[in-house]
Amino acid sequence: MSVNIELPAQFNAAEYFLQLNLRGAQADKPYLLCGSERLTYGELDRDARLVAAGLRRLGVQPENRVMLLLADTPRFPACFWGAVLCGAVAIPVNTLLKRDDYRYFLEDSRAKVLIADPVFWPEIEAAARGQRHLRHVILTGDPVPGTMALAELMQPGDGGAEPVSPDDAAFWLYTSGSTGMPKAAVHLQRDMVYAAECFAKQTLGLRQDDLTFSAAKFFFAYGLGNSLYFPPAVGCTALVYPQRPAPEAIFEQLTRHRPTVFYGVPTLYNALLNTYEAWQAGKNAPPALPKLDSLRLCVSAGEALPAETFRRWKKHFGCDILDGIGSTEMLHIFISNRPGQIRPGSSGTPVPGYESKLVDEHGEEIGTGQVGSLLVKGESAAAYYWNKHEKSKATMLGAWMVTGDQYIRDDDGFYWYQGRNDDMMKVSGSWVSPVEVENALLGHAAVAESAVVGARDRDGLTKPKAFVVLKPGHSGSEQLAEALCAHVREQIAGFKAPRWVEFVTDLPKTATGKIRRFTLRDPG
């Protein structure tokens, strides 16, 4: 299904989104709730224009880069929209990283301005030192020598929209790639409009009366849509939480604020369920178990949601989880389950406005029931990777984007995730998806989390090896390992069952909560 969005030749995305909710009482409606803070749509427009005016006074020109190292508070949208408003390129970066990462981002992007929360100063002080292109460091709290306070920046001035085009760059998002240095996906002024129309409106059916809550942070492509530009697109309110999304804290936010839409990742949904089930068993339980009866929609992305996690969530809270797949390069979710059209364990069907296909190793399109590499196209796709010409050519094949994911498409058009291209393993001449084995393991009552990789046996042949985190009350043993392997053989083909099980206390994950399987593989 195509989606036709016509934009004028002169189009500034910040001006577009800021102007959507300024009429009448809508201007006084909360755009963002954060703890005791409340930012209305009118205040957002005011603050973004003050930031834009301040950046202009600093000499920021169109296409100059402005890096944002900010937690999920009202300062983030004011600075993001303010940078885009004045024609600069906003670059939100992961707040969970270290100084060497920030040094790389500053050098690679050639950012002229860095806006950061003071809590991150210990990590960015050394990173910012000696940068050839960085001219100004702005802190959202009290300044330190060599920096400026955001309050000082936000003085009245020229806060008008820079007359850019839909095809001008608006922001970059650095990928969290599992290997190598991060790549900056360059997104255009048009991209947010397209993602909001196709997913927020036509797939989720977000409403003006919704209160949404995203555990995924602003600096992720997923969280940026959920909390930054989806709300103004429909005129709803977003709840944000700046701290780490620990299960207890997320439950507290869900029960206190009673949002109608919740966005999470599979790892978090699983952690919430494990905590809830421990509470049910009487372990450190709160006075009353959370009901979550305000939720009408739950959304998952980041990695495939196991069918068992879907069933447990539905059993305890009565709400479906709409699982989907998106990427930094495509900006948001492009294949998804949707209300009334759910296949637990699948990623769903293409979102309106997007096309997808599966190809073999020669690039030839394949049919249903076969494992192939997923390609997708849609108008929210990044234009290119900054300073990565060869990688851009390899990933962006004309209108098609190479996702790096392996999928099967069934006869009804639903896509079933089989793992990353480099996660698949061949066992006894047949391809084995680690996700399928992990999902089978999660069906066992003792398993909290699992990761499966290929390992070599005595004959040098590849066989599945499972790393398993157990639920409280269970301890690893040879007998339990054998029971887990037997359980998997009961669920899926025997050759896919783990040959070895190693019990661990946790699994290595990326900042987005994805399991870093490659770090678990045996060297060589």
Give the residue-averaged pLDDT of 275-304: 94
Q: Which residues pair with 79 in a beta bridge?
A: none
For residue 164 the two structure tokens come to 């850019």
Q: Are strands 333-336 and 349-350 parallel, antiparallel or unpaired?
A: antiparallel
Cα separation, 46 vs 42, in Å, equals 6
Whether pLDDT at 180 is above 70: no
Decide if pLDDT at 141 tops 50. Answer: yes
Band (pLDDT 50/70/90 cuts) for residue 176 is low
Q: Which of 265, 333, 321 lies closest to 512 in space, CA to CA?
A: 265
Reported as type and span, the H/E element at residue 487 is helix 478-491
User: 425-520 has which fold?
Assistant: GMP Synthetase; Chain A, domain 3 (3.30.300)
For residue 420, what pLDDT is reported?
Answer: 78
What pLDDT sits at residue 403?
Answer: 94
- For the segment 465-476, the average pLDDT, to the nearest whole number, is 95
Residues found in the chain: 524
What's the mean pLDDT in 212-227? Answer: 96
Q: Alpha-carbon Rg of the chain, whole angstroms?
A: 23
Mean pLDDT, rounded, for 103-132: 95
On average, the pLDDT of the chain sits at 94
pTM: 0.88
Report the share of the chain in percent with pLDDT over 90. 84
Domain 13-189 fold: Rossmann fold (3.40.50)
Write down the pLDDT at residue 12.
98
**Low-confidence winner among 217-226, 250-259, 423-432 (lowest mean pLDDT):** 423-432
Predicted pLDDT at 401: 97
Edge-first strand order for the sheet with 333-336 is 37-40, 30-34, 237-239, 211-214, 261-264, 297-300, 321-326, 333-336, 349-350
Domain 195-379+389-420 CATH superfamily: ANL, N-terminal domain (3.40.50.12780)
182: pLDDT confidence band, cut at 50, 70 and 90?
confident
Percent of the chain's residues with pLDDT above 70: 98
Residue that has been written with the tokens 């492009």 in this structure? 334
Distances (CA, A) of 32 to 19, 75, 272: 16, 11, 24
Tell me the C-alpha distance between 74 and 87, whole Å. 21
**Same topology for domains 13-189 and 195-379+389-420, yes or no?**
yes
Segments making up each domain of the chain, as ranges: 13-189, 195-379+389-420, 425-520
Whether residue 479 has pLDDT greater than 60:
yes
Distance of CA 354 to the CA centre of its chain: 18
Higher pLDDT: 249 or 94? It is 249
Whether the pLDDT of residue 257 is over 80: the answer is yes
DSSP conformation letters of 22-58: -SGGGGGSEEEEETTEEEEHHHHHHHHHHHHHHHHHT
The whole-angstrom separation of Cα 407 and Cα 387 is 30
Q: Does the pLDDT value for residue 138 go beyond 90?
A: yes
* Spatial separation of the C-alpha atoms in residues 259 and 295, rounded to whole Å: 6
Instruction: Name which of 85, 181, 89, 180 is nearest 133 in CA terms.
Output: 89
Decide if pLDDT at 178 tops 70: no
Q: DSSP assignment of 79-117, as one string?
A: HHHHHHHTT-EEEE--TT--HHHHHHHHHHHT-SEEEE-
